[in-house]
Amino acid sequence: MNTERIDQDKIPKKTLSSGEKIPSIGLGTFGSDKYGAAEVAKAVYGAVKFGYRLIDCAQVYQNEAQIGEVLEQLMREKVVKREELFIISKVWNDMHDKVHIACRQSLKDLRLDYLDLYLVHWPFRNYHAPGCDVNYRNPDAKPFSVDEYMETWRQCEELVEKGLVRYIGMSNMTIPKLEAVLPLCRIKPAVLEMELHPSFQQPELFDYAVSHNMLPIGYCPLGSPSRPERDRTKDDVVDMELPAVVNAARAHGVHPAAICLKWAVQRGQVPIPFSVKEHQYKSNLTCITEDPLTEEEMEAIRLEDRNCRLIKGQVFLWNGAKGWEDLWDVDGKITGWD
């Protein structure tokens, strides 16, 4: 593939409830553990040059300062204008009571005047701060609470009112938690970022998000094959080896990664695949501009759903949580981890 740059008109768009159109795919940036912040930032530079416009960042990924340098460089070199980018960041769990400080730090690091979208990364507070051992156990960690979540959300609403962020959204929520907080939101979430890949399609939550005007953004769209050991269990399914994915890859003459991404975009979610490898991040964008999956292929992949959650939240299990199920609501009951 020798294309130097993808024509923006060729990239499918998704529409937010405001009517604004955003790219139907973005670049993930959680990978500094494996590759280092400079390498991730270099990929952001190359990816934006190639045609990516949506970048999924977070303060806890510990690379926003390096990404900020390349964003500034890209604008200085007139590769892209600020208003052509859609930059996401997220408030980490240790900053729920200081959202303004967290957001201003992300803006400073990313060298931006505003963020396009700011997410509450996880729906509960804990104090696993960047740089800490992720298995750090803190006696002050607390379960999900509607009141605390709304305190955090109110601060996010103020960020919109102050013009620091254009949209706010939620991540890692469940239907019972959304049912509890949505009626209380003055500014409704524009998106729901959630784990979505062929073996974990979350159809009820996906439909709930769409019917409540939240655009689903799908993380781990390739099944996160390089995720850290702490996020692995022996029962995890390998998405890129699922029969329907492999069969479609053969039929289209592409890598299974391309099938996962075509499926995601055609289903209606915004996948945010991560890669620092030039041939991978380029083909991840190119693939969605060509040769769509057939209805039969879409249906075959739909049937591969195995309810296989990969990011189970093991790193948050402390202070009485009996298992990762405590983080995800069971049988419609909000469990948090209390």
121 is in an annotated binding site: yes
- In whole angstroms, how close is the CB of 78 to ligand NAP at the nearest point? 26
Query: Of the ranges 3-11, 152-160, 202-210, 218-226, which one interacts with ligand NAP (CB under 6 A)?
Result: 218-226
DSSP 238: -
Q: Which of 17, 105, 213, 280 binds ligand NAP (CB under 6 A)?
A: 280
Please tell me whether residue 199 binds ligand NAP under the rule CB under 6 A: no
- In whole angstroms, how close is the CB of 7 to ligand NAP at the nearest point? 20
Catalytic residues: 61
Contact, 118 vs 89, CB < 8 A? yes
Please tell me whether residue 192 binds ligand NAP under the rule CB under 6 A: no
> How many beta carbons lie within 10 A of that of residue 303, not counting itself?
12
- In whole angstroms, how close is the CB of 283 to ligand NAP at the nearest point? 5
# chain residues binding ligand NAP, by CB under 6 A: 29
Taking phi over 0 as left and psi of -120 to 50 as alpha, with beta for the rest, 58 belongs to beta
Which residue shows structure tokens 């130097």? 4
Q: Which residues of 145-164 are buried (b: 16+ CB within 10 A; e: fewer)?
A: beebbeebbebbbbbbeeeb
Which amino acid, 254? V
Please tell me whether residue 92 binds ligand NAP under the rule CB under 6 A: no
Please tell me whether residue 222 binds ligand NAP under the rule CB under 6 A: yes
- In whole angstroms, how close is the CB of 25 to ligand NAP at the nearest point? 11
Residues 6+ apart with CB under 8 A from 111: 68, 69, 71, 72
Please tell me whether residue 269 binds ligand NAP under the rule CB under 6 A: no
Q: Which of 16, 190, 272, 334 binds ligand NAP (CB under 6 A)?
A: 272
Contact, 150 vs 178, CB < 8 A? no
> What residue is closest to ligand NAP based on CB?
28
Contact, 169 vs 192, CB < 8 A? yes
Q: Which of 53, 88, 46, 311 is nearest to 217 (CA)?
A: 88
Please tell me whether residue 277 binds ligand NAP under the rule CB under 6 A: yes
Please tell me whether residue 68 binds ligand NAP under the rule CB under 6 A: no
Task: Decide whether 212 or 255 has the Cβ nearer to ligand NAP.
Answer: 255
Q: Which residues pair with 187 in a beta bridge?
A: none
Q: Which of 59, 155, 172, 199 binds ligand NAP (CB under 6 A)?
A: 172
Residues making up the binding site for substrate: 121
Residues making up the binding site: 121
